[in-house]
């Protein structure tokens, strides 16, 4: 009974779901209650039935203390039932199997043996209430009593063995499920990375063509604006102001075209072995962003392109600073992994809206009012070029964490 409840509880069935064995168990207890001779027997039997039916089904009994209390309560009820029905001669002596089976199911081999010893000791304690002046015990009675004491112990060991097999199988299934979950998550991340790479490649080609086509007319527009500015009389302030605006807007557009080209240009990292913390510190200085350093001493130097990786951290630190309050801390942490290193950039800023978290690394996706949406796309492209991965965790109003994984080159 208890073994069945334990096995199903480990597979987390719905609470209070009626099973076939529950119905069968209830029918058997109803029969036992009906066969009981008096109200006292019936009352104790009802309590035992209720305890057996809820064992493993009530949350409070799932804890170690709850299981121990259930076993002690079964032992006490069984002891009372045997006591009021004849002691050592009681027909209900097998009721002590209830706490023994429960202990064997939940508490391991040591608990099984302890439960068996306590239950057998409780049964033998009824010999203390025998009037030995009027009652004697034969060798055959001793023989039967020894069998009655040994069989519950054998049952305890057998139930514990079966329970151990069930627990081992459950642990294997749980481990397999966790491994499948991790594999599925890695597969989804890999699929997302492939889709992002395909989009980046297509948009990169488009951006390169568009940028080259824009460069020539921008040069002509700027030249014309400068010529207009020089040829305009000093008294024509409006024309001079308009020519100045044209030149400034051309410069801004040309800067945007340059970023397009940076995004579209194939990346060939020029690797050199360097401490990643050196690159991070250099980026923090260039971005003028104060950071809290949580660097692991176990991180070994990596073969990376320092210039490109510095651009990565400049973008991430600048974004973190822009998303945070002026005095909010920005933390950069490093740690060594089995196959590479992980760098985390953590801010306590405004966070990223949930609807944009999946597309934040795509080109032209931005959370800034005046942003273009190429910064994180370029960062993702640089990380991909180094054979790494990048993920983000964010909660609106509480901040964001960007994690970069870089492999150890062999």
- Give one DSSP letter per residue of 47-98, joined into a string: HHHHHHHHTTTSGGGGSHHHHHHHHHHHHHHHHHHHHTTTGGG-TTGGGGHH
CB 218 within 8 A of CB 254: yes
CB 85 within 8 A of CB 92: yes
Residue in 122, 113, 197, 189 with CA at minimum distance from that of residue 156: 113
CB 345 within 8 A of CB 314: no
Q: What is the pLDDT at residue 89?
A: 73
The model's pLDDT over 14-63, given as tens digits with 9 standing for 90+, comes to 455 667 777 777 788 788 888 878 888 888 888 888 877 777 666 666 66
The distance from CA 121 to its chain's CA centroid, rounded to whole angstroms, is 47
What single-letter DSSP state applies at residue 406?
E
Selected residue with higher pLDDT from 113 and 9: 113
The model's pLDDT over 245-297, given as tens digits with 9 standing for 90+, comes to 888 888 777 777 776 666 666 667 888 999 999 999 999 999 899 999 999 99
Share of the chain above pLDDT 70, in %: 80
Count of C-beta atoms within a 10 Å radius of residue 57: 18
Instruction: Tell me how far apart the alpha carbons of residues 245 and 39 are, in angstroms, rounded to a whole number.
Output: 102
Q: Where are the beta strands (DSSP E) in 239-396?
A: 272-274, 292-294, 302-304, 330-336, 340-347, 389-395
Q: What is the pLDDT at residue 16?
A: 54
Asked whether the predicted pLDDT for residue 6 surpasses 90, the reply is: no
Written as one string, the DSSP assignment of 114-152 is HHHHHHHHHHHGGGGGS-TTT----HHHHHHHHHHHHHH
Asked whether the predicted pLDDT for residue 139 surpasses 90, the reply is: no
Residue in 395, 279, 268 with CA at minimum distance from that of residue 334: 279
CB 345 within 8 A of CB 405: no
Selected residue with higher pLDDT from 191 and 138: 191
Q: What is the average per-residue pLDDT within 98-127?
A: 77
Share of the chain above pLDDT 90, in %: 12
What single-letter DSSP state applies at residue 14?
P
Q: What is the pLDDT at residue 11?
A: 40
Q: What is the pLDDT at residue 60?
A: 67
Which domains are present in the chain? 2-127 (no CATH), 194-264 (1.10.287.130), 272-407 (3.30.565.10)
Angle ∠(346,352,357) on CA atoms, nearest 5: 105
What single-letter DSSP state applies at residue 299?
P
Report residue 313 as tokens: 């951290």
CB contact set of 199 (below 8 Å; sequence gap of 6+) = 362, 363
Instruction: Tell me how far apart the alpha carbons of residues 73 and 144 are, in angstroms, rounded to a whole number.
Output: 27
Sorting pLDDT into bands at 50, 70 and 90, what band is 334? very high
Packed helices 375-385 and 306-323: angle between N→C axes, nearest 10 degrees: 140
CB contact set of 176 (below 8 Å; sequence gap of 6+) = none
Instruction: Give this prediction's pTM.
Output: 0.45
Residue in 116, 30, 42 with CA at minimum distance from that of residue 80: 42
């Amino acid at each position: 009974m208890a073994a069945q409840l334990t096995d199903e509880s480990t597979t987390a069935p719905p609470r209070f779901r009626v099973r076939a064995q529950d119905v069968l168990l209830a029918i058997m207890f109803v029969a036992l209650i009906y066969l009981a001779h008096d109200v006292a027997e019936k009352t104790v039997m009802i309590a035992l039935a209720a305890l057996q039916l809820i064992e493993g089904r009530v949350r409070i009994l799932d804890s170690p203390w709850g299981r121990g209390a259930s076993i002690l309560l079964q032992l006490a009820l069984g002891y009372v039932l045997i006591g009021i029905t004849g002691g050592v001669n009681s027909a209900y002596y097998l009721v002590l199997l209830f706490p023994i089976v429960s202990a064997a199911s939940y508490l391991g081999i040591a608990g099984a043996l302890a439960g068996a010893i306590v239950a057998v000791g409780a049964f033998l304690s009824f010999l203390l209430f025998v009037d030995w002046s009027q009652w004697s015990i034969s060798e055959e009675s001793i023989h039967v009593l020894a069998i009655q004491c040994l069989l519950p112990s054998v049952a305890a060991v057998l139930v514990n063995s079966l329970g151990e097999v069930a627990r081992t199988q459950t642990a294997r299934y749980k481990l397999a499920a966790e491994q499948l979950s991790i594999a599925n998550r890695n597969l989804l991340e890999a699929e997302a990375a492939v889709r992002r790479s395909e989009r980046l490649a297509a948009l990169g080609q488009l951006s390169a063509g568009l940028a080259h086509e824009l460069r020539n007319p921008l040069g002509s527009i700027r030249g014309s604006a400068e010529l207009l500015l020089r040829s305009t009389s000093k008294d024509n302030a409006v024309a001079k102001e308009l020519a100045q605006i044209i030149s400034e807007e051309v410069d801004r557009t040309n800067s945007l075209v340059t970023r397009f080209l940076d995004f579209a240009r194939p990346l060939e990292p020029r690797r050199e072995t360097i401490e990643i913390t050196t690159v991070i510190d250099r980026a923090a200085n260039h971005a003028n962003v104060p950071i809290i350093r949580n660097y692991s001493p176990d991180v070994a130097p990596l073969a990376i392109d320092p210039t490109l990786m510095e651009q990565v951290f400049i973008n991430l630190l600048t974004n973190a600073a822009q998303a945070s309050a002026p005095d909010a801390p920005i933390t950069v942490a490093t740690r060594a992994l089995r196959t590479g290193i992980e760098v985390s950039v953590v801010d306590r800023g405004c966070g990223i809206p949930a609807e944009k978290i999946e597309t934040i690394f795509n080109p032209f996706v931005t959370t800034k009012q005046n942003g273009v949406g190429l910064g994180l796309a370029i960062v993702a492209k640089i990380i991909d070029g180094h054979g790494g991965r990048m993920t983000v965790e964010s909660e609106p109003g509480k901040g964001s964490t960007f994690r970069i994984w870089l492999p150890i080159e062999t």
